[in-house]
Copies of this chain bind each other. A is one copy, B any other.
């Protein structure tokens, strides 16, 4: 599929299979973050890799758990290692890791995310990927890990951005390249409107 065609297809899948829950929660468990659709994720990986072609990416960084799938499918095209940040129970972390605090509004809790220092270095050119972008908390945490390592952030690639929650546009205003394959501009119990 060419890019425009795939983006329309992804929107259709969101409309068809997505379920809206109270608190502006969109569940796409049937294809993106519980059950994973191999064909759809292959296209997600392909289109992310096309968007960042020629960027000499050396590492794909994501966060457990549902970001891992998108990172792996993207790595199948970019052929770099994937690094996934782990969520720690405690904020007591060792000095062998970079760490950041991430607030999840959906789950109403704060996590400490960590990556081993040995896997993220100043020579890395890093693409951040994730399944969802809402207020941007997870991305800001991942970008902080990249900054701590002195690595270069190439940009962020997201499957579904909830545009109306503002995190993506805030990062864009700060000069971060954020590419989302579908951007939802408004969402109610019975309608979802996409940004064109």
Binding site for B on A (CB under 8 A): 29-31, 34-39, 41-42, 64-65, 68-69, 71-73, 75-76, 79-84, 86, 115-116, 118-119
A36:B81 contact, CB within 8 angstroms: yes
Copies of this chain held together in the complex: 2
CA distance A30 to B149 in the complex (A): 17
Contact of A38 among B38, B64, B75, B86 (CB under 8 A): B75
Give the chain B neighbours of A31 by CB distance below 8 A.
Answer: 81
A38 near B119 with CB under 8 A, answer no
Closest to A63 in B: B65
**Shortest CB–CB separation between residue A24 and chain B, in angstroms?**
21
A128 to B51, CA, bound (A): 34
B119 touches A82 (CB 8 A): no
- Given the known interface contacts A68-B69, A119-B35, the answer about A76 and B79 at a Cβ–Cβ threshold of 8 Å is no
Q: Could you write out 26 A-B pairs with CB less than 8 Å apart?
A: A29-B119, A30-B119, A34-B84, A34-B86, A34-B115, A35-B116, A35-B119, A36-B68, A36-B81, A36-B82, A36-B84, A37-B81, A38-B72, A38-B75, A38-B80, A38-B81, A41-B72, A64-B65, A65-B65, A65-B68, A65-B84, A65-B86, A68-B68, A68-B69, A69-B82, A72-B72
